[in-house]
Structure 1
Amino acid sequence: MNFKRLIITTIIIASQLAMVIPVSAEEAGKQDTVSAVGQQYTVTSNNLGANDATSPNNNVTKPSQEGQVTNEESTGQETSVTGENGQTEGTGDNNGAEDGQTEQPTSTDEGQDADGSNPSTIDSATTTDSNVNANAANSGAGQLVLMMNSNKMYQGGKEYIAGYPMEVKNGVSYVSIRAIVERAGLQLSFDNKTKETIISRGNDELRFKLDTSNYRVNGVVTPMKGKSYSAKNNFMVPLTAITKALGIPYTVDNVGKRVILNLSTKPVASFSIGNKEVIAGETDVQYLTNSYSPSGLQIVNEEWTGRQDKFTDPGIYTVTYRVQDSNGQWSDPFSLKINVGKPHTPPLANFMTDKDTYKMGELITYTDLSTDEVGIKERVWENNERAFFTPGQMTIRLKVVNEFGLSSTVERTITITNELLYSRDDFNKLFTPVGEKYAFDGTSVPSWERVNYSISSDPVTLIRSNSPETVYSEGRVYKETASGAMRFMVHHVNSTGKNMKMYVVATNKNDTTARLTQNSLGFGGPSQYATAAGKVSVERYYKSLQTGGQYKDVWIAPGESKVIMPELNATTMKQGDVISLFADMYSDQALEFNVIMIDPNKDPLAIAQSQSLPNLKEDVHNRGTYEDSTRYFHYNDLVGTTRQRLLIGDNSNDPFQVGYDGITNAYKLNAGNFGMLYKIKLYRVAPNTLITFNPRGGRYSGSIMVNGDIVQLSTGGSLSAPNDANVLFRTGDHEQTVEFVFTAAPGSNLSVNLLFQPLPEAK
Structure 2
Amino acid sequence: MKSLKWMLLVSLFVMSITSAATKNTFAEGGIVPVTTTDTTVTNGLGFPSAVTLTNRLDLTMGSANMLHNGTAYKSAQPVVSINGRTFIPFSSIAARYGYKISYDAAKKESIAKSDQHELVFKMGSGFAYRDGVLTKLTGVPFISNGYLMVPLRSWGEMADSTIAVVNKTITLKWSTTVIPPKPTANFEVQPGEIFAGQTIVSYIDHSTNATGEPFVDERWEGRMDVFPEPGTYVITHQLEDTNGIWSEPYSVTVTVKAPNMPPVADFTTEKSQYRIGEEVNYIDMSTDDENAIVRRTYTGNDKVFFEAGDHSVTLVVEDSHGLTSTVTKTVSVSNSVLYTKEEYERLNTKVGDNFTIDGASVPKMPAIGYTINSVRSQLVRSNSPETLIQEGIAYEAQLTGQVRFMFHNVNKIGYPVRMYLLATNNNSSTVNVNTSSIGIGGPDPIVANTAKMSTLRYLTSVGSNPSPKWMTVKPHQTIEILPDISKVPMKLNEVLSAYADIYSDQELQFHVVVVAADKNPITELPKLAVMPRDGIHVRGTFNNADRTIDINDTLGDMDQRIVIGDKTIDKYLDGIDDTTGELQYNTGNFGTLYRMHLPHVSPNTLIALNPRGGIYTGSFMVNGRVVTSSLMNNTQATVLYRTGDTEESVDLVFTLAGGSNLPIALTFLPLPELRW
The answer, yes or no, to whether TM exceeds 0.5 is yes
Tell me what 1:640 maps to: 556
CA distance in 1, matches of 2:619, 2:474: 38
Tell me what 1:749 maps to: 661
Alignment partner of 1:361 is 2:277: yes
Tell me what 1:611 maps to: 527
Q: Among 435, 446, 450, which residue is 1:529 paired with? A: 446
Alignment partner of 1:394 is 2:311: yes
Alignment partner of 1:433 is 2:350: yes
- Provide TM-score, normalisation by structure 1: 0.55
Q: Among 578, 588, 591, which residue is 1:675 paired with? A: 591
CA distance in 2, matches of 1:591, 1:272: 72
Tell me what 1:734 maps to: 646
CA deviations on 1:593-626 (whole Å, 9 max, x unpaired) are 222222111112212x223445243352222222
Output the aligned Cα RMSD.
5.1
Q: Which amino acid aligns with 1:472?
A: I
- Conserved? CA contact 1:506–1:561, under 8 Å: yes
- What secondary structure sits across from 1:636 in the alignment? coil
Q: Among 465, 468, 474, which residue is 2:382 paired with? A: 465
- What secondary structure sits across from 2:476 in the alignment? coil
Structure 2: gaps of 5 or more residues: 1-19, 24-59, 75-183
- Conserved? CA contact 2:393–2:528, under 8 Å: no
Q: Among 627, 632, 640, which residue is 1:720 paired with? A: 632
- Conserved? CA contact 1:279–1:314, under 8 Å: no
Alignment partner of 1:627 is 2:627: no
Alignment partner of 1:692 is 2:604: no
Offset at residue 642 of structure 1 (A) = 2.0
CA distance in 1, matches of 2:203, 2:503: 57
CA distance in 2, matches of 1:349, 1:368: 8
Tell me what 1:90 maps to: none
Offset at residue 536 of structure 1 (A) = 1.5
Tell me what 2:35 maps to: none
Q: Which amino acid aligns with 1:460?
A: S
Q: Among 482, 485, 503, which residue is 1:565 paired with? A: 482
Decide which moves more: 677-686 or 375-384.
Answer: 375-384
CA deviations on 1:436-490 (whole Å, 9 max, x unpaired) are 2222222132232222223223333212122222212222222223222121211
Tell me what 1:500 maps to: 417
- Conserved? CA contact 2:397–2:510, under 8 Å: yes
- What secondary structure sits across from 1:521 in the alignment? strand
Offset at residue 385 of structure 1 (A) = 2.7
Offset at residue 560 of structure 1 (A) = 2.8
Offset at residue 502 of structure 1 (A) = 2.1
Decide which moves more: 505-514 or 631-640.
Answer: 505-514
Tell me what 1:255 maps to: none
- Considering fraction of residues, name the structure with more strand: 2
CA distance in 2, matches of 1:447, 1:40: 102
CA distance in 2, matches of 1:551, 1:374: 55
CA distance in 2, matches of 1:438, 1:453: 27
Q: Among 402, 408, 433, which residue is 1:491 paired with? A: 408
- Conserved? CA contact 1:392–1:415, under 8 Å: yes
- The alpha-carbon distance between structure 1 residues 349 and 746, as it changes in their structure 2 partners (threshold 3 A), is farther
Q: Which amino acid aligns with 1:629?
A: A
| 1:341-352 aligned within 5 A | none
Tell me what 1:709 maps to: 625
Decide which moves more: 452-461 or 399-408.
Answer: 399-408
CA distance in 1, matches of 2:527, 2:479: 18
| 1:148-227 aligned within 5 A | none
- The alpha-carbon distance between structure 1 residues 513 and 144, as it changes in their structure 2 partners (threshold 3 A), is farther
Offset at residue 406 of structure 1 (A) = 7.1
Structure 1: gaps of 5 or more residues: 1-38, 43-130, 147-268
Decide which moves more: 630-639 or 617-626.
Answer: 617-626
Q: Which amino acid aligns with 1:723?
A: T
Tell me what 1:659 maps to: 575
- The alpha-carbon distance between structure 1 residues 664 and 401, as it changes in their structure 2 partners (threshold 3 A), is farther
- The alpha-carbon distance between structure 1 residues 414 and 483, as it changes in their structure 2 partners (threshold 3 A), is same
- What secondary structure sits across from 1:536 in the alignment? helix
CA distance in 2, matches of 1:522, 1:403: 43
- Conserved? CA contact 2:295–2:318, under 8 Å: yes
Offset at residue 508 of structure 1 (A) = 2.6
- Conserved? CA contact 2:385–2:531, under 8 Å: no
- What secondary structure sits across from 1:583 in the alignment? strand
CA deviations on 1:541-570 (whole Å, 9 max, x unpaired) are 222233346853333333333323323222
Alignment partner of 1:480 is 2:397: yes
| 1:268-287 aligned within 5 A | 280=194
CA distance in 2, matches of 1:302, 1:355: 71
CA distance in 2, matches of 1:579, 1:710: 21
- What secondary structure sits across from 1:650 in the alignment? coil
Offset at residue 584 of structure 1 (A) = 1.8
Offset at residue 346 of structure 1 (A) = 8.3
Tell me what 2:331 maps to: 414
- What secondary structure sits across from 1:485 in the alignment? strand
CA deviations on 1:249-289 (whole Å, 9 max, x unpaired) are xxxxxxxxxxxxxxxxxxxx9x999x9x9665779989899
- What secondary structure sits across from 2:552 in the alignment? strand
Offset at residue 654 of structure 1 (A) = 0.9
- What secondary structure sits across from 1:449 in the alignment? coil
Offset at residue 649 of structure 1 (A) = 0.8
Tell me what 2:513 maps to: 596
- Conserved? CA contact 1:696–1:751, under 8 Å: yes
Tell me what 1:51 maps to: none
CA distance in 2, matches of 1:548, 1:316: 67
- What secondary structure sits across from 2:505 in the alignment? strand
- What secondary structure sits across from 1:426 in the alignment? helix
- What secondary structure sits across from 1:703 in the alignment? strand
CA distance in 2, matches of 1:569, 1:340: 58
CA deviations on 1:686-716 (whole Å, 9 max, x unpaired) are 1121211110010112332221122231xxx
- The alpha-carbon distance between structure 1 residues 641 and 144, as it changes in their structure 2 partners (threshold 3 A), is farther
- The alpha-carbon distance between structure 1 residues 363 and 671, as it changes in their structure 2 partners (threshold 3 A), is same
- The alpha-carbon distance between structure 1 residues 389 and 480, as it changes in their structure 2 partners (threshold 3 A), is same
- What secondary structure sits across from 1:610 in the alignment? helix
Q: Which amino acid aligns with 1:540?
A: R
Q: Among 633, 640, 649, which residue is 2:565 paired with? A: 649
Tell me what 1:382 maps to: 299
CA distance in 2, matches of 1:637, 1:518: 37
- What secondary structure sits across from 1:637 in the alignment? coil
CA deviations on 1:56-86 (whole Å, 9 max, x unpaired) are xxxxxxxxxxxxxxxxxxxxxxxxxxxxxxx
Offset at residue 355 of structure 1 (A) = 2.5
Tell me what 1:178 maps to: none
Offset at residue 684 of structure 1 (A) = 0.4
Tell me what 2:500 maps to: 583
CA deviations on 1:631-682 (whole Å, 9 max, x unpaired) are 1111122111122111111111111111122322322111111111211110
CA distance in 2, matches of 1:685, 1:586: 36
Tell me what 1:161 maps to: none
State the identity as a percent: 35
- What secondary structure sits across from 1:701 in the alignment? strand
Q: Number of residue pairs matched?
A: 505
